[in-house]
A and B are shown apart, each in its own frame.
Chain A
Amino acid sequence: MQEELILQLESHVATRILKQPGRRIAADEPIISSGLIDSFNLVDVALYVEDTFGVRITDTELNSGTFDTLGQLAALIEQRRGRA
């Protein structure tokens, strides 16, 4: 279940944000602290997560302290989806 989620996130980030459709991003690869996606892209990611999964990540949470890898993001989504 989470693996599908991670793949979905990876596909979105690679295609829509990095504009490199074939690009692989490992589930444990730091994407924020490494600068791979910048703060502007991060807001887009949050909007995508909200639109697609109905999970809200607030403005004060959009940083590497909350999640830094796709795996962590997926876990966060599952956790918040489970509550709803």
Chain B
Amino acid sequence: MTLAQIAALVVLAAAIGQLKRGRQLALLAVSTGVLFWLQPPEPIPSLGFWLPFGILGLTIVSWILTSASDERGWRRTWPAVAVIAAVVILMEINGFAGPSINAAVVVPVPSKVLLGVVALAGLVGILWRWQAGRPILLVVLSGLIVLVFVMIKTPGLAQSSASWLQHLPGAWEGIAADVPFSWLGFSYVAFRLLHTVRDRQAGRLPEVSLSEYVTYVIFFPAFTAGPIDRVERFVQDLRSPHELRNDDWLDAGTRLIVGLFKKFVVADLLAVISFSDLLVEHVKTPGWMWLFVYAYAFRIYFDFSGYTDVAIGMGRLLGVRLPENFNAPYLKQNIALFWNSWHMSLTQWFRSYIFNPLTRQMRSGRAMVPTWYAILITQLVTMVLIGLWHGITWGFALWGLWHGIGLFVHNRWVEFARGRWPAATQSPSARRAAAILGVFITFNFVAVGWLFFGLSTPALTWKALRMLFGAA
């Protein structure tokens, strides 16, 4: 988001936060509108309308499948439907009459939009009634979400789909633009939806209305880059009466200012000396390479944590306490503690739905595998998947592998050291020295790891690594 967009959203958040009644519906309406407003240009311009529409459709379908039939009264639900429909219609009208709120969104002709709406309504109607098929439908829904995720996050597949779509005769409005295809916010939306589907399958999902569910999934402060909240917690905040008091303004304001400073001042300055494909191709000495690596490490932290601060600050204005994402990650003594304090909402998601279930299986199955093997597999699988969540490329997979191996080695070291040097016998100064050494090693490990994450090919990463350690 640009500074101007953030400023506008802060004002909106403050305004909605003042509402005594109708806060929920206002939040739903604004979040739906922001979905369209933030949409970046797409190779097929009218996708700028259909992608947000797709997110809305997918979310509504997910709500139907994850809510119990007796929870969904039409009387409770129709205001949310009306609000969403009104915003979609507004976007459509706006696209035709006068300057669009977002030049990147080329709206399809009304007849096509009507067709889309009718198709969605038909699907929703069928699912609303059909209870018996629900368990299998939840599995199908999960599969669909993952499939779409893979398609849009794999660069080659995304481009092919976009080209293929472009060539469908007469299908799209607007002249094709030469921009990469991306689906804004989908990574986060997918994970929020999957969380609700998994919780429903485990029987843990509380009753949630359509308005609350959609607001949770597309909540505008957290839409573009998280944090990934949990629906139970989010809905509790939504339902509690909210009054903006002095300490809310103070906390939110501080958070926002700190976040904006971190992102638009510190991170943007560091960006100049952070490594990039271009810099790596031209760097001549290890000294410069190390500078670029450290700069990137700090830049990515300030950028992402600054963004999270802004999201949390906006959420605070709206009466929602979004979860934290960072806890002084570079000050941690070991890689395990690092991963407890970096992008915490994402790692919590992975722990809940990947790591813990997988570990449970490996620890209580009939064939008990050796402990070290179980640790290796669970760490590698989880970390590589975390890497691939960012994008399905070799670079991200290698980054995950780097950290998975690091975590495994750390775990084995701790086992070894516990036997050799029980903590109780260490002097305070020895412990302090170990702590400082730990922070140094951990930070450097993570910093070098970013080379896999931030460069576009493994070949460039290899070049950068060789440069770091003196080989040209």
Q: Which of B290-349 contact A (CB under 8 A)?
A: 333-334, 336-337, 340, 348
Q: Does B419 contact A (CB under 8 A)?
A: yes
Known: A23-B424, A35-B337, A58-B202. A40 touches B360 (CB 8 A): no
Report whether B348 and A63 are in contact in the complex, using a CB–CB cutoff of 8 Å: yes
Report whether B360 and A43 are in contact in the complex, using a CB–CB cutoff of 8 Å: yes
Report whether B359 and A60 are in contact in the complex, using a CB–CB cutoff of 8 Å: no
Q: How far does the alpha carbon of A43 sit from the alpha carbon of B363 in the complex, in Å?
A: 8
Known: A38-B336, A40-B375, A40-B378. A60 touches B360 (CB 8 A): no
Report whether A18 and B364 are in contact in the complex, using a CB–CB cutoff of 8 Å: no
Q: Which of A54-76 contact B (CB under 8 A)?
A: 58-60, 62-63
B interface, size bucket = 20 to 34
Q: How far does the alpha carbon of A47 sit from the alpha carbon of B374 in the complex, in Å?
A: 15
Nearest residue (CB) in B for A34 is B337
Count chain A residues whose beta carbon lies closer than 8 angstroms to a beta carbon of B. 18
Q: Does A8 contact B (CB under 8 A)?
A: no
What's the least CB distance linking B196 to chain A, in Å? 12
Nearest residue (CB) in B for A60 is B352
Report whether A35 and B351 are in contact in the complex, using a CB–CB cutoff of 8 Å: no
Chain B hits for A35, CB < 8 A: 333-334, 336-337, 340
Nearest residue (CB) in B for A61 is B352
Chain A 5-18, CB-CB to B under 8 Å as 1, else 0, gives: 00000000000001
Report whether B352 and A40 are in contact in the complex, using a CB–CB cutoff of 8 Å: no
Chain A hits for B419, CB < 8 A: 19
Main secondary structure of the interface of A (DSSP, over half): loop
Q: Which of B363-400 contact A (CB under 8 A)?
A: 363-364, 374-375, 378-379
Chain A hits for B351, CB < 8 A: 39, 59, 62-63
Report whether A59 and B336 are in contact in the complex, using a CB–CB cutoff of 8 Å: no
What's the least CB distance linking A74 to chain B, in Å? 21
Nearest residue (CB) in A for B344 is A63
Q: Does A20 contact B (CB under 8 A)?
A: yes
Chain A hits for B129, CB < 8 A: none
Chain A 23-67, CB-CB to B under 8 Å as 1, else 0, gives: 100000000010100111001101100000000001110110000
What's the least CB distance linking B91 to chain A, in Å? 36
Nearest residue (CB) in B for A18 is B418
Known: A23-B424, A59-B352. A43 touches B204 (CB 8 A): no
Report whether B411 and A38 are in contact in the complex, using a CB–CB cutoff of 8 Å: yes
Report whether B334 and A44 are in contact in the complex, using a CB–CB cutoff of 8 Å: no
Chain B 398-432, CB-CB to A under 8 Å as 1, else 0, gives: 00000000000001001100110010100000000
Chain B hits for A47, CB < 8 A: 360, 363-364
What's the least CB distance linking B405 to chain A, in Å? 15
Chain A hits for B415, CB < 8 A: 19
What's the least CB distance linking A52 to chain B, in Å? 14
Report whether B418 and A20 are in contact in the complex, using a CB–CB cutoff of 8 Å: yes
Chain A hits for B334, CB < 8 A: 35
* 18 A-B pairs (CB sep. < 8 Å): A19-B415, A20-B418, A20-B422, A23-B424, A33-B340, A38-B336, A38-B411, A38-B414, A39-B359, A40-B374, A43-B360, A47-B364, A59-B353, A60-B230, A60-B352, A62-B356, A63-B348, A63-B351
Known: A39-B355, A47-B363, A58-B204. 5 other contacts (CB 8 A): A40-B374, A40-B411, A60-B199, A60-B352, A62-B351
